Amino acid sequence: MNYLQALTEFARAINEPNTANTAISPATQANMTVYRNNIRLNRANALKLAYPTVLALLGEEFFMAMADVYTQSTASTSANLHQEGHLLAEFIAQFAPTQAYPYLSDVAQLDWAMHQAHYADDHVGLSAAILAEQAQSLAQLKLLLHPALQIIESKWPIASLFAMHHGGAKPQDLYRGECVLVWRDQYQIIDAAPAAFFLALMQQLTLEEALLAGAAVDAGFDPASSLSLLLEQQLIIALA
């Protein structure tokens, strides 16, 4: 058996307890269970840290049982446990025991966006002065935004549900959707027009096209506060 075969067999034995595992000696076979359970528990604990709102909504026992099914059915794609759980929102959307909580998958998306934003690469934001120098050609500029910036849109009040687990009140109306702009360790509920504006910028459309995308949603769209937010929070990292 070469090294690659040994590793492959070892990896299979982690996922399939009943398969033959000649990669390790008979004396240590029994320790595979310990090894296997530690992997499962470490992955489940990583999910707990990435999805605090989902954890609070379901409770510890439900969450850990679900996490175990998820990690069993979803191969880990990174050696970095901070990247564990990138498919949990999709998993929750089709997992039978969570069907009673239709908002849960979208809440998971927001948890994941906050988690991603926390660990996104650092970039220095452009100062407003640099953008002001380009004032004459503003319309045709493309703004490259910070990679932590994301938009999550839901027909459920996901930001209110998130806030509820960070000291806020219970949402008044469970059927009032929310669109949330997420960046490093912060978020803000935004209207549909700014959301269209930000999405257009993320898709590398010109500022003019992004402004029109916002106005197409709401004729009264005023880009001033959206642009101020991007500049104040240093979320524009380059111009093109």
Partner 1 sequence: MNNKSILLASAMVAVLAAAAQPALAADAAKEKCFGVAKAGANDCAANGHACAGQAGASMDPKEWKYVAKGTCTEMKGMLKAM
Beta-carbon-side half-sphere exposure of residue 171 (alpha carbons within 13 Å): 15
Rounded to a whole number of angstroms, the minimum distance from the CB of residue 49 to partner 1 is 5
Give yes or no for residue 10 binding partner 1 (CB under 8 A).
Answer: no
Give yes or no for residue 90 binding partner 1 (CB under 8 A).
Answer: no
- Of 8 and 19, which has the nearer Cβ to partner 1? 19
Of positions 12, 19, 188, 222, contacts partner 1 by CB under 8 A? 222
Give yes or no for residue 235 binding partner 1 (CB under 8 A).
Answer: no
Residues 187-206 that bind partner 1 (CB under 8 A): none
- Of 11 and 139, which has the nearer Cβ to partner 1? 139
Of positions 6, 231, 237, 239, contacts partner 1 by CB under 8 A? 231
What is the CA angle 147-71-100, rounded to 5? 85
Of positions 223, 237, 238, 239, contacts partner 1 by CB under 8 A? 223
Residues 93-152 that bind partner 1 (CB under 8 A): 97, 100-104, 118, 122, 127-129, 131-132, 135, 138-139
* x-or-dash string of contact with partner 1, 164-183, rule CB under 8 A: xx----x---xx--------
Give yes or no for residue 1 binding partner 1 (CB under 8 A).
Answer: no
Residues 31-50 that bind partner 1 (CB under 8 A): 33-34, 37-38, 40-42, 45, 49
**Number of Cβ atoms within 10 Å of the Cβ of 45:** 14
Query: Three-class SS string for the chain?
Result: CCHHHHHHHHHHHHHCCCCCCCCCCHHHCCHHHHHHHHHHHHHHHHHHHHCHHHHHHHCHHHHHHHHHHHHHHCCCCCCCHHHCCCCHHHHHHHCHHHCCCCCHHHHHHHHHHHHHHHHCCCCCCCCHHHHHHCHHHHHHCCEEECCCCEEEEECCCHHHHHHHCCCCCCCCCCCCCEEEEEECCEEEEECHHHHHHHHHHHCCCCHHHHHHHHHHHCCCCCCHHHHHHHHHCCCEEEEC
Give the binding site for partner 1 (CB under 8 A).
33-34, 37-38, 40-42, 45, 49, 55-66, 68-69, 82, 97, 100-104, 118, 122, 127-129, 131-132, 135, 138-139, 161, 164-165, 170, 174-175, 184-186, 207-208, 211-212, 214-215, 219, 221-225, 227-228, 231-232, 234
